[in-house]
Amino acid sequence: MSSSEILTSQGYIQHHLTNLTLGVHPEHGFGFAHSSADAAAMGFWAVNVDTVFFSVLLGGLFLWFFKGVAEKVTAGIPAGAQNFAEWIVDFVEDNVRGSFNAKNAMVAPLALTIFAWVFLMNLMDLLPVDLLPYLFGQFIAVFGADPHHVFLRVVPTTDPNATFGMALTVFFLVLFYSVKMKGVGGFLGELTLQPFGKFGLPANLLLEGISLLSKPLSLALRLFGNMYAGEMIFILIALLYGGSMTLNITGGLLQFVWAVFHILIITLQAFIFMVLTIVYLDMAHQEHH
């Protein structure tokens, strides 16, 4: 393989791993990034437009579907969309009853939202890696933009900004209910007096602090890591196309096999995020003695 081919492959991978980023560049001012280096230079306040767009779109799709089912719900034996929606609701409620021992009417709707939303965002990974970026490139080319400098990542959960955003939201809920149910004194007491009592305060604070902070980290990094790896494998398989008929057929078979296996991964990651959220909120409602 020549150096130009290596650069082409690397460029292809880099292009698919770069978000459509909007921000203020220190040299070029406000606008969209034209490379991953531009995106990095824009810093913390830059916005990954594709992540926000697809997250909101899929969240809206979830709300539209369940709202439509709720408006047309009928008594008796459910069928079609109602049966599917009730199956998901029953599945989530069974997990809430099995893992959440306190009383909080917010937990089940939150768990349903997390499961359905994360699943839909993960599901975008099953689309051909070049399909939506190509269509978007053709669309913006009509307005005179260079499609080679336009990026589009369609799987929001491959962006750590999205996974950390969801994880931090759960973390703030955990802190809120920990203080609400136990009081400020009870919450601080758990951090400083468990598990070694008042004489082990520094060790208690260290252990409990690490345990508390690990919650959002585990939620965010687990989801991001699995989905990022899945996206990378799809991109690497796509590199096989265009070489020869044998490579095209091999790429097609590999893509099909990985897509079938990936269905399990995207469902499992949505389930894990939901269950851990339920467990963490249950722990926030429980008082240690």
- pLDDT string in tens for the chain (289-residue length): 434 444 478 888 888 889 999 999 888 889 888 888 888 899 889 999 999 999 999 999 999 999 998 888 887 777 788 888 999 999 999 999 999 988 899 999 999 999 999 999 999 999 988 888 888 888 887 776 666 667 899 999 999 999 999 999 999 999 999 999 888 888 888 888 777 777 777 888 888 888 889 999 999 999 999 999 999 999 999 888 877 788 888 888 998 999 999 999 999 999 999 999 999 999 988 876 5
- As a three-state string, the secondary structure of 138-174 is HHHHCCCCCHHHCCCCCCHHHCHHHHHHHHHHHHHHH
Residue with the two structure tokens 């880099």: 14
pLDDT in the model for residue 288: 60
Q: What is the pLDDT of residue 145?
A: 66
The confidence score (pLDDT) of residue 16 equals 87
Q: Which residues pair with 32 in a beta bridge?
A: 22
Q: For position 125, what pLDDT does the model report? A: 93
What is the predicted pLDDT for the residue at 181?
A: 87
Task: Retrieve residue 89's tokens.
Answer: 């609701």
Catalytic residue chosen out of the listed positions 3, 218, 244, 248: 218
**What pLDDT, on the 0 to 100 scale, is given for residue 203?**
85
Domain ranges of the chain: 50-129+157-285
Catalytic annotation on 97?
Answer: no
Q: Is the dihedral of CA 208, 209, 212, 215 positive or negative?
A: negative
Catalytic residue among 2, 35, 222, 244: 222
Residue 279, amino acid = V
Q: What is the pLDDT of residue 22?
A: 92
Residue-level pLDDT at 6: 47
Which run of H or E residues covers position 212? Answer: helix 201-238
The conformation of residue 37, written as its DSSP 8-state character, comes to H
Active site residue 99: no
3-state helix, strand, coil in the chain (%, to 5): 75, 5, 20
Residue of 19, 99, 122, 226 marked catalytic: 226
Helix, strand, or coil (residue 23): strand
